[in-house]
A = this chain, B = another copy of it.
Amino acid sequence: MPESINHELMSRVTEQFATAFWRIRRGTAKELRPLGLTFSQGRALRVLARFDEPIRIGELAARLDIVPRSATAMVDTLEKAGLASRTADPSDRRSVLVGLTDGGRALLARMAEARRESAEALFGRLDAEQLSTLQKLLDVMNAAEPACGKGEA
């Protein structure tokens, strides 16, 4: 633990994160709106797509870095929209498995299409190498432990 952390720089980066995040969220939401999806729903869909098998609610929550209760609400929404479905876990009757429906998979494909426009506006200023560097740095940051237990929004 380095003594000499540059707090001013970190405050600045924090500011920048807030700015960048909202910009990305706005830009992405605009593209997703015609599909009837919100930013967070799009995120959840992508997570579900990464597994080809249905996963537990708790697992989804962990991947989205939100509390399980919030994941339940998200699944409620996706289910109502016909994009995901719950099934009982045969091996553990406490848990519920969530997976994409065919409709969910279809929408996911259209989502990728839709995002192309905003992508340029949001990341166009970074060249391939910069984008790659950014990706790696974020990866390091996010690898940090639960450190700050969820619960302060």
- Which residues of A line the B interface, CB within 8 A? 1-2, 5-7, 9-30, 33, 39-40, 43, 46, 65-66, 112, 115-116, 118-128, 130-135, 137-144, 147-148, 150-153
Contact = CB atoms under 8 A, between A and B. Distances in A.
B122 A144 contact: yes
Main SS of chain A's interface residues?
helix
A75 to B, nearest CB: 18
Contacts of A141: 20, 23, 122-123, 125-126
B118 A148 contact: yes
B148 A122 contact: yes
A137 B130 contact: yes
Contacts of A24: 14, 17-18
A90 B116 CA distance: 47
Nearest to A16: B138
Contacts of A5: 116, 119-120, 123-124
